[in-house]
Amino acid sequence: MQSSLSLSLSATSSSAATVSRSRHSFPVPAASPLNLRFCGLRREAFDSGLAASLKRQQSQLPRQPHSAAVSAALSANGSPPSSFDYDLLIIGAGVGGHGAALHAVEKGLKTAIVEGDVVGGTCVNRGCVPSKALLAVSGRMRELKSDHHLKSFGLQVSAAGYDRQGVADHANNLASKIRNNLTNSMKALGVDILTGFGTILGPQKVKVGPSNKIVTAKDIIIATGSVPFVPKGIEVDGKTVITSDHALKLESVPDWIAIVGSGYIGLEFSDVYTALGSEVTFVEALDQLMPGFDPEISKLAQRVLINPRNIDYHTGVFATKITPARDGKPVLIELIDAKTKEPKETLEVDAALIATGRAPFTQGLGLENIDVVTQRGFVPVDERMRVIDTNGKLVPHLFCIGDANGKMMLAHAASAQGISVVEQVTGRDHVLNHLSIPAACFTHPEISMVGLTEPQAREKGEKEGFEVSVAKTSFKANTKALAENEGEGLAKLIYRPDNGEILGVHIFGLHAADLIHEASNAIALGTRIQDIKFAVHAHPTLSEVLDELFKSAKVKAQASSPVSEPVAV
């Protein structure tokens, strides 16, 4: 969701210098490692800090034979009920829980969903939905403030301005509208919404607070999502040192803001803040910005999204301590070298946004009642989202989807996992191909991706003994992009020339987030390049960027036979 991205973590050291405000100075064996992939989070950095932050006991799953047995050690937790209140109970009414609930009703299951906060979860209320409202504003502001861009169209616009509260209201109103839509859609279909926090008491039993009502279900899905991850040493006051939850309220637009972490969250907020007039400084623990993206895309994106804008950056450094502004003093950010741990400098800024990724929200679920121990906070699951206990066995009738399992921390991945689980509990085996799930960063221009990066593909090819090829096309050759004066962009295809398998597609350019789905659907359906070359695209459209990309690939295999006879027109 997906390529993993960066995490700027804290460490322990003291400051050596001060920088002034001036910017110029089927079952998988339990032994298999969990394949955790994160949105805005790089795994190796994540591993170094989250365990301490969550204060959880880490557990390694014991080795098991290839066929995982269903756990029989449940007698201590009570026997499963003989009859059930519901066919399916979902703990968490975010995008993942909502998607699972709607599909369950479609399949004829009596369904309930438990929510201790508000319907919509992080994505709708504190994540992807309100952030897109802010990014819509930043995109328009950029266009209105770009004299060169407007003059190229023959347009003249007086000085552009904005009302901060009006922008904030736009984001809040959108979140409210989508939240109401989700709630109404579930109620209209007969999904029971149970208010309160859900705690698993034992097999197929959940206690729902505050009434402590006991609810039983044949199958249970955990879909509790995640919360912002704040590394040790960072003091969040919600005003001058904030997380994305606070930033989306847009209570202020600081003159100078440091963003700790250059993953999806950090990049999108840098787009918003610079469009609204802020100076931005990135603090990144790894040696380069956007390290989780395909390197070629990352390089181009930095040239367009970072270098020309009011942004500077510090890479290869940890923020060991961040102190909020108080008593007339600015926010202080103490930095050390990520490798040597030697003190670097101290930044003095007006505000700091902690964009170091997200941590699973799995505390208080009662997992101990079913002999399940989280790993770095994540609920261990197999490839079918079935929960695994401490003995490496499957917990009967219990699944976990979305950010809480850590496989791919994206809202639409959670929804896809939920739908996959419903397919299984209604009798159809289904394994979701996570490499077919796209991801996008909604900067201006946008970045999108699906599958493997070029280094990942070449490593896989070397290990498995196949050749890897790369094809590229530029937005500068696309008529629609040129008509929009948006020719800055690149599409990249990584594939196997022997059989035409698509290994990965990466796009940087106008509406990249929309364009990626042709590639992701091709991967999901197993469509090969030699077949997709014959697809017809309307002209002139941006979709022709993908058309040219697939046509430029050199595949040795021949096209498949048509599925059906040609239809005469």
> Is 235 marked as binding a ligand?
no
Q: Is 261 a known ligand-binding residue?
A: yes
Cβ–Cβ under 8 Å, residues 555 and 528? yes
Instruction: Determine the straight-line distance between the first and last CA of the chain, rounded to whole angstroms.
Output: 42
How many angstroms separate the CA atoms of 40 and 447, rounded? Answer: 13
Helices (H), 63-120: 95-106
Q: What are phi and psi of 551, to 5 degrees?
A: -65, -25
CA dihedral 405, 406, 410, 416 (to 10 degrees): -40
Does the annotation flag 132 for ligand binding?
yes
**Token pair of 487, please?**
């020719």
Q: How far is CA 387 from CA 220, 381, 399, in A?
A: 10, 4, 5
Q: Give every strand in the sheet of 311-315, ordered side by side.
A: 241-243, 351-354, 256-260, 279-284, 311-315
- Please tell me whether 32 is known to bind a ligand: no
The response to whether 196 counts as a known ligand-binding position is no
**89 is known to lie in a ligand binding site:** no
Q: Is 394 assigned to a binding site?
A: no
In the set 170, 397, 511, 539, the catalytic residue is: 539
265 known member of a binding site:
yes
Q: Bridge partners of 86?
A: 217
What percentage of the chain's residues is helix, strand, coil (to nearest 5)?
A: 30, 25, 45
What sections of 287-398 are H helices per DSSP? 295-301
The two three-digit tokens of residue 196, written as one number: 């309160």
Tokens of 472: 């590229």
As a whole number of angstroms, the distance between CA 257 and CA 279 comes to: 6
- Which DSSP string do the residues of 149-181 spell out, in sequence order? HHHHTT---PPP---HHHHHHHHHHHHHHHHHH
Residue 386 to residue 363: CA distance in whole angstroms:
19
How many Å apart are CA 270 and CA 236, to the nearest integer? 19
C-alpha span between 519 and 438 (Å, rounded): 9
273 is in an annotated binding site: no
- Coil vs helix vs strand at 506: strand
Is there a binding annotation on residue 224?
yes
Give yes or no: 539 in active site: yes
Q: Which of 227, 226, 271, 252 is nearest to 352 (CA)?
A: 252
Q: Is 277 annotated as a binding residue?
A: no
Residue 170 known to bind ligand: no
CA dihedral 471, 472, 473, 474 (to 10 degrees): -170
The answer to whether 411 is a known ligand-binding residue is yes
225 marked ligand binding residue:
yes
**Residue 262 annotated as binding?**
yes
Is there a binding annotation on residue 403? Answer: yes
User: Which residue ranges are tagged as binding site for FAD?
Assistant: 132, 198, 224-226, 403, 409-412
Task: Provide the annotated active-site residues.
Answer: 539
- Residues annotated in a binding site for NAD(+): 261-268, 284, 357
List, as residue ranges, the binding site: 132, 198, 224-226, 261-268, 284, 357, 403, 409-412
